[in-house]
C-alpha cells in the first residue's frame, strides 16, 4: 500500500515531537518533511536525543513548494496568528491540513478575534474548517480539507460534558470547569516561571478570568446543547508539577426534570462505540497517569443529590488526546484509515 | 520567664513532626514529653534523622500520669475515635489540650457521628471544645481548656470564604470547593497508592461524594453566615504530586443585591489585622510554594461578571496552617503568648 | 504466521507490567496466560487501569500444566529463591523460559549462594542457563532453552565497560561504579521508605557494601576480560526521585600501555552493529529521560589524562533495557525473530 | 545590644534569597540594604511572594557609598569576574565582606585564572581572603576582613574527606568524587535545559572533564594533607531532579599502612565538636532530604576491604551548607557571634 506522506511544520515543539513519537509506530504514514525555523539544517534527533536512531531527519525551513511536492497532508503546529497565514497557502497548494493553533477552531469570527485579539486574514476558512474532535465531528472530518485540532482544555471538558449536553440534562449556564494541566502545556521554552526550581512542588491557578479556551468550550457546549447562543461557562485553569496530564473536574446543575435520569445509561450510550473514551468502572476515578502518553480520555461522574450537582472528572494527556494523539486520530480519519491506527498503546503507566 | 511545658501524643506522625520542627525555634515552650506508641524507647531523631542534634528526646508510651506531671498543655495528634477516649482523661488530669483529630470539631453530635461513623464517648465536650481557627475564634481560644484543630481543607476553604460569608454576599447553597492537597495529607504510612512510583506524575480526585471535611466546612460556613441550618456545599478533594501544600478554588454565586459591592474592601477589612492571611496584590495568584513550611494562607479572588460567580483561590500548607502551624498559633493563644510566636518564617520558597 | 504464545508468571509486578506494555505493540507474540498469585481472578486492567481496553485478560494462579498447554515460552518475574523452584518445572514441561530473578545468572554456585544467601535446588541449570545480555550472548541465546535476564545495574555497567574490557585496556581491579536508579527498581510494594513523601526531593545511597549486583558485574567483567578470577569491583547504588531510569558513572584506570589507544574507535567498533546501544555524539552526555520507556542504552566516555582515568557514563531505563525491554529483546532472539521486534520506539521523552 | 548591619549585593538570586530566609530568624543581624541591579525599586517580596510580610524592603542599585553608610558587613552574591571588581571597593570603604563567587577562593593566581579563564584585578586579595569553611579556618575567619564562601561541591567533598586527609590515611591521587546536585545550583534563570519539562524525571552528568570546582577541591585537599602540590582528583558532577540537595560519594585508596586504623575514631575525633557536621549512626546513610533547608552536613563512610577503598557519603543542601547557611555561619564568626546563631533549625524534612 502506498503510504500517505506527512509533513510537520513546527516539528520541534512539544506537539510536533509527540506526534513524531507516535508516528514511529504508524505503518501507513511516511514522514517526509520536518519544518522548524529555529533549527534549520539540524537533525531532529540533535534537538531531541531520545529520537537518535529513530528520527534522524534534517529539519528544513518553511517552503510551501517543498511541502506541496513532498507531502499529501501537513500538520501545522504553529503559534496562532502564524497558522492563519501559512495554512491558506498550504491549502492553495493542494494539501490537506490539520492545524493545531486556535486560528481555525471558531465558527464565529468575532469570538476568535475577541479571544485572540487578532484579526483573521482568511475568515471564510472558519466556515470550512472542521473542529477536530472525532467523537463529535468524525463524519465531517472524513471529508475535510482543513481540520482544526482542539485545545487541550476544551477536549478534556467537552468529552466530559458531551453526554449531558446532548441529552439536555443540565443547566448550561451553571457549568463550572476547574482544570489542572501539566507544564508541557506551556510549550518548549526558556521561561523562569516554568523552570524546575520555580514549578516543582507547586500548584497554582492562572488565567482565572478570560482564558482563551473558555470561548472554545462555550462554542462546542452550545452546539452540543443545540443552543443558538453559547452559554457562559466558568473555567479556571491551574498548573500542577507534572510534565503531562490534564484533569478537569466539572460541575453542573442537573435540570429538575432530569433528576431521575439514569446517568450511567446516558454515559454508556454516548461512548459505547468510542475507542478512546474510557468510562471508569464504579468506584474508580480517572488519574492522569493512566492516560499519559496515550490518546485515551478517562471519564467518571457522580451525582450529588444533596447539592443537585453532577460532577464529572475527565483526564487526558494534554499532549496526547489534548494535542498530538488527537491530531493523529483525526488525520487517520482524513486519510481514510482506521482512526485508532498507531494509537492503541498503554501509556507511561508508572 | 518560666516556659510552658508541652507534650505531644502521636509525635511521630507528620503532624507531630511538623509541630516539633516549629517548636525548635520557639523560645517560650519547652517540649517535655513525646509519646509514640509505635516507637517507645527510640529517640525522635532515630525516626526522623533530619532532627539529629535538634530533638533527640526518647519517645515514651502514653501515660496520663506522666503527662500530667510533666506538661501544662498536651497536643494530641491521634486518629479520630482514639482522641475522643484519650482527651477526656487529659482534661480530667488538669491539662489543657489541643486535639488534632475530628473528634471535637463538631457542634452537633449527629453531624459528627454521621461523618465519622462513630459514637462519641463524651459528647458534652463538643459543647466545650473551641474550634481552633484563630481568625474566627481567637477570643474563645484564649480561655479554652480544649481546642479542636480544624481540618486542612476546612481551614483553606473557610478562610477563603470568610469575608463573603460574614458580609452575607453569596448564595450559601451555591458554594463549590475544588481542592488539591499534597500527599502528606494522607499521613505517614506504607500504602501502595501513595508510593512514589504510583503517586509521582499523577493528579487524581478522591472522595468525590461525602468526604468528611464537607460537613466541617458546612458547619463553619453556616455559622459565619448566621444560618440556623448549615448549607449544602459541594466539595471535591484531589491529590497532587507535592509533599505539602493545598489549593482550594472556590466558586459561589454573588447575591444580586451584592453585585456592586467592593470586594476588595470586604477582603481588606476582614483580614487587615490578620498576620497569617495574606491577600495577594492585584494580578498575583496564590501558589502553594509560597506558603509551604509556613503558617500563612495566601488568598486571592476574582469576580466574573459573565457568570455572576466569585472565584476565590486559597493556598495553605496542609501541614502548616492546615495542621501544625495552626496548632501552634492556637496554643500560643491558649497560653497567653503573641499568636505569631515562632511562626514568622519564610517557607520552603524554592 | 503462527504467533508464539507467551505466558508471564508474576505479571502484576512492574517488570511484568512493563513487558505487557511492550507486547501490546508486538505482532508476533500472543499473550496467552498471565499468572499472578496475589490477584487471581481479577483482570490485569483492574490492577493497572492504564491498560483498560488493551489488556483485560484475567489473572490466573500458577499451574505448570496450564502454562504447558497454553504457551511456547514463559517469562518468570518471580522473587529469587522462588524462580529456582518454578523454572525447572517449566523446563521439564517442555517450555522455553526467560527468568528475571538472580537464580540463574551465575556460573559458579558458590557465588550465587554467597550473594543471595540461598542454596540452589537445581545447580546444574546454572551451567545451561544463558545470561540474557544479547550484546554478548546473542548466539547462545538463539539456541537457549533457559535465559537469565540480567540485573539492571549489571546491564548498565557491563555495557559501559564492554569495549574497554574486551580490548584489555583497563586495570580490572580499579573499576569503580557509582550508579543511581529510579525507584521502580524497588518493585511494586507498600513500603514507607519508598512512599512519595519520603522519597520525593531526596537522593541517597544504599547497599554501599556488598550489594548483590556487585558479584554479577564482577562475573561478567571477568569473563569479558578473559580472566580466570573475577576482579574486585567497587559498586555503590543510590536512589534518585525518578520513577524509571538508571545512570552509572564508571571509573577505571587505563593501563599505561593503552594510554594512546583511540577510545572512539574502540567504542565505535564494539557497538557499530548494535541497535540498542547508542554512543553519544561528541559533547553530549547520556540522560535517563532519553532512554526511559525504551530498550536503549546511551553511553558516553571521557578520558581524563590528569588522573589517568577513563570515565564512562551509561544510561538505561531500569525497567527497559534493565528488565523488560531486554527480556523482550532476548525472547525475540530465542524465538527466531529480529531482536528489535516491538522495541523501536522513542521513550518517555518529556 | 546593637545589631550588626548587613547588606546583600545580589539579593534576588537563590543564594541571596536563601540568606534572607535564614536572616529572618536571626536576632543579632539587621538587614539594612538589598541590592539587585535587575529589580531596582521593586520590593524583595514582589520578586519572592513567599516573603510577603516578612521582607518587604525595596531593592536598590549598587552604591558603594550607600553600603558604606548603611552596613557593617556586606555579602556579595555576584557572578565571578564581577565580584573581583566590586569587593575591593567595599573593602576600601571599610566594610567587611563575605563574597560568594569563585573570585577569592584560590591561593594561587594561576589556578584561579586557569579555572575561570579570567585575569584577576586584585590578586593580592587572594592572599588576604580566608576560605570560608569554618570547620577548617574558623580562627582566621574570626579576624578576617574578607571571606570567600566555598563552592557547594568543594564544601560537600572536603568535609567528607577532611578526617582522612588530615590524618594522612589515603592516597591523595586516588580520590574520585561522584556528586549529584539539585537544580538550584544552576541559579535563578530562564534556561530550557533547566525547565521543568526537561529536568524533571531525569538525571544526567555534566562538566565531566574540567569542572571548575575540581581545582578548588584539589587546593583544599592538598592543604589538608600538607602537600606542596595539590593532588589530581577526579570529580564528576551530575544533576538530579531535586530543587536542593547535594550528595557526594567519594572513593579513595586507604594507604597500606593505614589499613588497620579505626576510622570510626578518626571521624569521631575530627567532628566531635562540630555542630554542623553530623556523623550518621552505624547503618544509616546520609540523605539529602535530612539536610535540605539546613546548614548540616551529614556524613557516613564505609571501608571495603575487598577493594581497599574507603567510600565516604556526604550530603548537604547546596543552598545551605553549600552556600547561604555556610555564609551565615561564617559571618557569625566574623562578627563575634556564636557560629550557630540562627542556624539551628530542622530542615525541609518531608
Q: Which residue of B has its CA nearest to D292?
A: B50
Q: Which residue of D has its CA nearest to A189?
A: D192
Name the nearest CA neighbour of B323 among B141, B151, B96, B187: B151
Whether the CB-CB separation of C76 and C100 falls below 8 Å is answered with yes
Q: Is residue C56 part of a domain?
A: yes
Which of B197, B243, B292 to mutate to test binding with chain C, by most C CBs within 10 Å of its CB? Answer: B197
**CATH number, domain at A123?**
3.40.50.720
| Dist CA C42 CA A103 (whole Å) | 47
Whether the CB-CB separation of A40 and A61 falls below 8 Å is answered with yes
Each residue's pLDDT tens digit in chain D (350 positions)? 689 999 999 999 999 999 999 999 999 999 999 999 999 999 999 999 999 999 999 999 999 999 999 999 999 999 999 999 999 999 999 999 999 999 999 999 999 999 999 999 999 999 999 999 999 999 999 999 999 999 999 999 999 999 999 999 999 999 999 999 999 999 999 999 999 999 999 999 999 999 999 999 999 999 999 999 999 999 999 999 999 999 999 999 999 999 899 999 999 999 999 999 999 998 899 999 999 999 999 999 999 999 999 999 999 999 999 999 999 999 999 999 999 999 998 887 77
Task: Give yes or no for B345 touching A (CB within 8 A).
Answer: no
Q: Which residue of D has its CA nearest to B290?
A: D50
Q: Which residue of B has its CA nearest to C14?
A: B197
Q: Which residues of A touch B288 (CB under 8 A)?
A: 201-204
Q: Is C345–A275 a contact, with Cβ atoms under 8 angstroms apart?
A: no
Residues B62 and B161 in one domain: no
Residues A72 and A215 in one domain: no
Question: What are B183-200's pLDDT values in tens digits?
Answer: 999 999 999 999 999 999
Residues B239 and B113 in one domain: no
- Pick the more confident residue, A148 or A1: A148
Q: In the Cβ-directed half-sphere of D288, how many Cα atoms lie within 13 Å?
A: 31
Pairing of strands A176-181, A234-239: parallel
Name the nearest CA neighbour of B9 among B111, B88, B98: B98
Q: Report the greatest alpha carbon distance in chain D.
A: 63
Whether the CB-CB separation of D347 and D320 falls below 8 Å is answered with yes
| Partners of chain B (3+ Cβ pairs below 8 A) | A, C, D
DSSP β-bridge partners for residue A8 = A34, A75
Q: Is residue C324 part of a domain?
A: no
Q: In this predicted structure, what is the pLDDT of residue D1?
A: 67
Q: Is A50–C284 a contact, with Cβ atoms under 8 angstroms apart?
A: no
| Dist CA B213 CA C326 (whole Å) | 48
Whether the CB-CB separation of D147 and D330 falls below 8 Å is answered with yes
- Scored b (16 or more CB within 10 A) or e, C170-180 reads bebebbbbbbb
Q: Which residues of B touch D284 (CB under 8 A)?
A: 49
Q: Is residue B52 part of a domain?
A: yes
Q: Is C234–D241 a contact, with Cβ atoms under 8 angstroms apart?
A: no
| Partners of chain D (3+ Cβ pairs below 8 A) | A, B, C
Whether the CB-CB separation of C161 and C267 falls below 8 Å is answered with no
- DSSP class per residue in D156-197: HHHHHHHHHHHTT-B-GGG-EEEEEE-GGGG-S---GGGBHH
Min Cα–Cα distance to chain D from C219, Å: 15
Q: Is residue D178 part of a domain?
A: yes
SS3 content of chain D, % helix, strand, coil (to 5): 40, 20, 40
Q: In this predicted structure, what is the pLDDT of residue A145?
A: 98
Name the nearest CA neighbour of C59 among C33, C24, C84: C33
**Could you tell me the three cell numbers for A320?**
496526547
Q: Is residue A206 part of a domain?
A: yes
Name the nearest CA neighbour of B275 among B140, B138, B143, B166: B138
Q: Is residue D328 part of a domain?
A: no
Which of B22, B50, B182, B287 to mutate to test binding with chain D, by most D CBs within 10 Å of its CB? Answer: B50
C178 Cα distance to chain centroid: 17
C253 Cα distance to chain centroid: 26
Q: In this predicted structure, what is the pLDDT of residue B290?
A: 97
Min Cα–Cα distance to chain B from D229, Å: 38
Q: In this predicted structure, what is the pLDDT of residue D302?
A: 96
Min Cα–Cα distance to chain C from B286, Å: 22
- Tell which of D65, D95, D128 closes a domain: D128
Name residues 13-72 of chain B within 8 A of D (Cβ).
Answer: 14, 17-18, 20-21, 24-25, 46, 48-55
Pairing of strands D176-181, D234-239: parallel
Name residues 158-187 of chain C within 8 A of B (Cβ).
Answer: 183-184
Q: In the Cβ-directed half-sphere of D45, how many Cα atoms lie within 13 Å?
A: 15
CA quadruple D253, D257, D260, D266: dihedral positive or negative?
negative
Question: What are B144-183's pLDDT values in tens digits?
Answer: 999 999 999 999 999 999 999 999 999 999 999 999 999 9
| Dist CA C199 CA B338 (whole Å) | 36
Residues C172 and C214 in one domain: yes
- Minimum-distance CB partner of C348 among A51, A293, A294: A293
Task: Give yes or no for A282 touching C (CB within 8 A).
Answer: no
| Dist CA B158 CA B149 (whole Å) | 14
Q: Is residue C236 part of a domain?
A: yes
3-state secondary structure of C346: coil
Q: Is D194–A195 a contact, with Cβ atoms under 8 angstroms apart?
A: yes
Pairing of strands D146-148, D96-99: parallel
Whether the CB-CB separation of B261 and D12 falls below 8 Å is answered with no
Q: Which residue of B has its CA nearest to D279?
A: B52
Which of C196, C244, C318 to mutate to test binding with chain B, by most B CBs within 10 Å of its CB? Answer: C196
Residues A183 and A231 in one domain: yes
User: How many domains is chain C partitioned into structurally?
Assistant: 2
Average pLDDT over residues B293-314: 97
Q: Is residue B279 part of a domain?
A: yes
Residues C121 and C176 in one domain: no
Q: In this predicted structure, what is the pLDDT of residue A349?
A: 73
Place of cell 536576632: D27
Q: What are phi and psi of D332, to 5 degrees?
A: -55, -50
| Dist CA A76 CA A35 (whole Å) | 9
Residues B108 and B188 in one domain: no
Residues C179 and C53 in one domain: no
Min Cα–Cα distance to chain B from D56, Å: 12
Average pLDDT over residues A178-203: 97
Q: Which residues of D touch A191 (CB under 8 A)?
A: 190, 195
CA D165 to each of CA C249, D158, D159, D253, D279: distance values in angstroms, whole numbers, following the listed order: 24, 9, 10, 12, 17
- DSSP class per residue in B170-235: B-GGG-EEEEEE-GGGG-S---GGGBHHHHTT--EE--TTT-THHHHHHHHHHHHHT-SSPPP-EE
Whether the CB-CB separation of D33 and D44 falls below 8 Å is answered with no
Pairing of strands A73-76, A4-9: parallel
Number of H helices, E strands in chain C: 13, 13
Question: What are C255-289's pLDDT values in tens digits?
Answer: 999 989 999 999 999 999 999 999 999 889 999 99
Place of cell 497532508: A73
Q: What are phi and psi of C234, to 5 degrees?
A: -95, 125
Confidence of residue C1 (pLDDT cuts 50, 70, 90): low
- Minimum-distance CB partner of C203 among D201, D247, D311: D247
| Dist CA D24 CA D18 (whole Å) | 10
Whether the CB-CB separation of B196 and C183 falls below 8 Å is answered with yes
Residues A112 and A218 in one domain: no
Name the nearest CA neighbour of B252 among B170, B166, B162: B170
| Dist CA D284 CA D290 (whole Å) | 12
Which of A202, A239, A288, A315 to mutate to test binding with chain B, by most B CBs within 10 Å of its CB? Answer: A202
- Per-residue HEC secondary structure of chain A comes to CCCEEEEEECCCCHHHHHHHHHHCCCCCEEEEEEECHHHCCCEHHHHCHHHCCCCCCECECCCHHHHHHHCCEEEECCCCCCHHHHHHHHHHCCCEEEECCHHHCCCCHHHHHHHHCCCCCCCHHHHHCEECCHHHHHHHHHCCCEEECCCHHHHHHHHHHHHHHHCCCECHHHCEEEEEECHHHHCCCCCHHHEHHHHCCCCEECCCCCCCHHHHHHHHHHHHCCCCCCCCCEEEEEECCCCCCEEEEEEEEECHHHCCCCHHHHHHHHHCCCCCEEECCCCCCCCHHHHCCCCCEEEEEEEECCCCEEEEEEEECCCHHHHHHHHHHHHHHHCCCCCCCCCCCCCCCC
Q: Which domain holds residue C31?
A: 4-128
Q: Is B184–C197 a contact, with Cβ atoms under 8 angstroms apart?
A: yes
Place of cell 503531562: A244
- Look at residue C348 and tell me whether its pLDDT is greater than 80: no
Residues B202 and B241 in one domain: yes
Confidence of residue B140 (pLDDT cuts 50, 70, 90): very high
Q: In this predicted structure, what is the pLDDT of residue B303?
A: 96
Q: Let me know if A335 is a catalytic residue.
A: no
- Look at residue A1 and tell me whether its pLDDT is greater than 90: no
Q: Which residues of C touch A282 (CB under 8 A)?
A: none
Q: Which residues contact D323 (CB under 8 A, 6 or more apart)?
A: D14, D15, D18, D100, D149, D152
- Minimum-distance CB partner of C50 among A50, A188, A290: A290
Name the nearest CA neighbour of C147 among C110, C111, C95: C95
- Minimum-distance CB partner of C249 among D178, D285, D309: D178
State what percent of residues in chain C have pLDDT above 90.
97
Q: What are phi and psi of B130, to 5 degrees?
A: -105, 135
- In which order are the strands placed within the sheet that holds A234-239? A204-205, A234-239, A176-181, A246-253, A309-316, A297-304, A277-279
Residues A123 and A159 in one domain: no
- Look at residue A104 and tell me whether its pLDDT is greater than 80: yes
**Could you tell me the three cell numbers for D171?**
592516597
**CATH number, domain at C165?**
3.30.360.10
- Look at residue C253 and tell me whether its pLDDT is greater than 70: yes
Q: Is C247–D197 a contact, with Cβ atoms under 8 angstroms apart?
A: no
Task: Give yes or no for D206 touching C (CB within 8 A).
Answer: yes
**Could you tell me the three cell numbers for D133?**
569553611
Q: In this predicted structure, what is the pLDDT of residue D2?
A: 87
CA C203 to each of CA C183, C244, C315, D291: distance values in angstroms, whole numbers, following the listed order: 11, 14, 17, 11
| Dist CA A229 CA A69 (whole Å) | 43
Residues C165 and C280 in one domain: yes
Amino acid at each position: 500500500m502506498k503510504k500517505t506522506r506527512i509533513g510537520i511544520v513546527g516539528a520541534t515543539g512539544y506537539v510536533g515531537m509527540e506526534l513524531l513519537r507516535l508516528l514511529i509506530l504508524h505503518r501507513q504514514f511516511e514522514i517526509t518533511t520536518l519544518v522548524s525555523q529555529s533549527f534549520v539544517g539540524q537533525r531532529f534527533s540533535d534537538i531531541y536525543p531520545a529520537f537518535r536512531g529513530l528520527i534522524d531527519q534534517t529539519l528544513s525551513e518553511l517552503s510551501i513548494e517543498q511541502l506541496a511536492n513532498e507531502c499529501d497532508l501537513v500538520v501545522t503546529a504553529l503559534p496562532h496568528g502564524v497558522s492563519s497565514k501559512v495554512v491558506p497557502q498550504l491549502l492553495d497548494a493542494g494539501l490537506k491540513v490539520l492545524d493545531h493553533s486556535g486560528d481555525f477552531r471558531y465558527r464565529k469570527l468575532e469570538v476568535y478575534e475577541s479571544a485572540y485579539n487578532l484579526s483573521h486574514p482568511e475568515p471564510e476558512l472558519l466556515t470550512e474548517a472542521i473542529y477536530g474532535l472525532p467523537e463529535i465531528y468524525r463524519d465531517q472530518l472524513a471529508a475535510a480539507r482543513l481540520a482544526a485540532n482542539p485545545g487541550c482544555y476544551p477536549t478534556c471538558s467537552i468529552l466530559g460534558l458531551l453526554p449531558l449536553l446532548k441529552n439536555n440534562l443540565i443547566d448550561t449556564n451553571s457549568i463550572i470547569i476547574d482544570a489542572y494541566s501539566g507544564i508541557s502545556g506551556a510549550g518548549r521554552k526558556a521561561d523562569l516561571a516554568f523552570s524546575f526550581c520555580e514549578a516543582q512542588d507547586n500548584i497554582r491557578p492562572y488565567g482565572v478570568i478570560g482564558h482563551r479556551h473558555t470561548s472554545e468550550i462555550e462554542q462546542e457546549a452550545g452546539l452540543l446543547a443545540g443552543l443558538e447562543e453559547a452559554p457562559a461557562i466558568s473555567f479556571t485553569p491551574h498548573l500542577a508539577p507534572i510534565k503531562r496530564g490534564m484533569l478537569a473536574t466539572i460541575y453542573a446543575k442537573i435540570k429538575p426534570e432530569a433528576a431521575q435520569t439514569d446517568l450511567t445509561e446516558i454515559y454508556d450510550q454516548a461512548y459505547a462505540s468510542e475507542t478512546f473514551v474510557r468510562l471508569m468502572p464504579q468506584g474508580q476515578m480517572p488519574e492522569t497517569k493512566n492516560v499519559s502518553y496515550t490518546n485515551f480520555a478517562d471519564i467518571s461522574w457522580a451525582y450529588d443529590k444533596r447539592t443537585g450537582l453532577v460532577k464529572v472528572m475527565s483526564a487526558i494527556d494534554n499532549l496526547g488526546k489534548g494535542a498530538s494523539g488527537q491530531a493523529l486520530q483525526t488525520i487517520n480519519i482524513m486519510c481514510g484509515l482506521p482512526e485508532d491506527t498507531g494509537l492503541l498503546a498503554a501509556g507511561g503507566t508508572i
